[in-house]
């Protein structure tokens, strides 16, 4: 007879306290991993293992009956079977980092009162500009702006359009993101490998504005400024370096962070799987 007993599976990872399910749009895995390694002393989690074990025994009987001698012989076999399950824990790491940061009161909810390097979590509306999809349109668009007189305020002329166009094409792989929150407008760049949707789908699916209300966890990098070029008089690196710095500032003015916006590094952009509907207004 075979008898068995089964042990329940024992997960090595604690289940999250929150029952929310999130849809991730962007996760900076490298920065999240560096935070995880500092928040959890055992190191960065790479996988989760659960184990289950089943033991059994089997008894067999053998008898003999020779004239006046009768004997019974019994034998028993026992053993155990084990099963291990390995799970990819990469998508649980962002949520664990967020929960731990909140437990340590390290997450702020607004730019006001936050210093550079602070971690902030806020709701936002999102725009993503993929320069790859408009690479061939740069120079024709600028020439059209010059012909129609719309580029005067930008200092564009027929002479400087070609070199500026070449410069913009050289940065064609850049993805820009705009965030509109309750207390600030924010700018950042995004790395294509950290997106959960392919870059080519962004423009075709959303156009310029990503639908819905999103949450963004980010590091505050730059405060709003007046847009003035760097003061190279008191910190000169030589004529060549000073010229490069001035050109870098001009590039930022043309296609980078607007002066009155904050600069951020997104750690993750996500939304609740419960769904979102635009607020209704009464007539």
Q: Is residue 161 part of a domain?
A: yes
Q: Is residue 45 part of a domain?
A: no
CA pair distance 123, 49, nearest whole angstrom: 35
Counted domains in the chain: 1
Q: Is residue 152 part of a domain?
A: yes
CA pair distance 136, 238, nearest whole angstrom: 36
Q: Is residue 14 part of a domain?
A: no
E strand spans, 109-258: 119-130, 175-180, 185-190, 209-222
Q: Is residue 103 part of a domain?
A: yes
Per-residue tens of pLDDT for the chain, all 283 residues? 444 444 443 333 444 445 578 899 999 999 998 998 899 877 656 656 666 666 656 665 555 555 555 555 555 666 566 666 666 667 788 989 999 999 999 999 999 999 999 999 999 999 998 876 666 666 777 777 777 776 666 666 777 767 766 766 666 567 899 999 999 999 999 998 999 988 778 878 887 789 999 999 999 999 998 878 777 788 888 888 888 888 788 778 777 899 999 999 999 999 988 888 887 755 4
Q: Is residue 78 part of a domain?
A: no
* Domain that residue 223 falls in: 93-272
Q: Is residue 137 part of a domain?
A: yes
Overall pTM > 0.75: no
Helices (H), 76-222: 93-103, 138-147, 161-170, 199-206
CA pair distance 94, 97, nearest whole angstrom: 5
Query: What was the pLDDT predicted at 244?
Result: 83
CA pair distance 190, 194, nearest whole angstrom: 8
CA pair distance 54, 257, nearest whole angstrom: 61
Q: Is residue 59 part of a domain?
A: no
In contact, 226 and 232? CB cutoff 8 Å? no
């Amino acid at each position: 007879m075979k008898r068995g007993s089964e042990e329940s599976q024992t997960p090595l990872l604690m289940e999250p306290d929150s029952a929310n399910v999130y849809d991730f749009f962007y996760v900076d895995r490298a920065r999240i991993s560096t935070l995880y390694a500092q928040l959890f002393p055992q190191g960065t989690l790479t996988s989760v293992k659960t184990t289950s074990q089943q033991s059994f025994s089997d008894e067999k009987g053998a008898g003999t009956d020779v004239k006046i001698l009768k004997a019974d012989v019994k034998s028993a076999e026992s053993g155990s079977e084990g099963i291990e399950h390995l799970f990819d824990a990469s998508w649980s790491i962002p949520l664990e980092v967020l929960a731990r940061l909140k437990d340590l009161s390290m997450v702020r909810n607004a730019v006001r009162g936050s210093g550079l390097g602070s971690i902030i979590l806020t709701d936002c509306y999102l725009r993503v500009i993929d320069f790859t999809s408009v690479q061939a349109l740069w120079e024709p668009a600028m020439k059209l702006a010059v012909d129609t007189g719309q580029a005067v305020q930008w200092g564009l002329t027929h002479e400087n359009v070609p070199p500026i166009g070449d410069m913009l094409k050289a940065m064609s792989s850049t993805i820009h993101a705009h965030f509109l929150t309750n207390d600030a407008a924010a700018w950042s760049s995004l790395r294509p490998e950290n997106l959960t949707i392919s870059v080519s789908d962004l423009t075709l699916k959303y156009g310029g504005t990503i639908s819905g209300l999103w949450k963004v966890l980010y590091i505050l990098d730059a405060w709003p400024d007046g847009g003035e070029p760097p003061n190279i008089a008191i910190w000169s690196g030589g004529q060549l370096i000073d010229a490069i710095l001035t050109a870098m500032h001009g590039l930022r003015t043309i296609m980078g962070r607007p002066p009155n916006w904050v600069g951020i590094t997104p750690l993750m952009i996500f939304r609740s799987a419960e769904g979102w509907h635009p607020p209704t207004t009464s007539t």
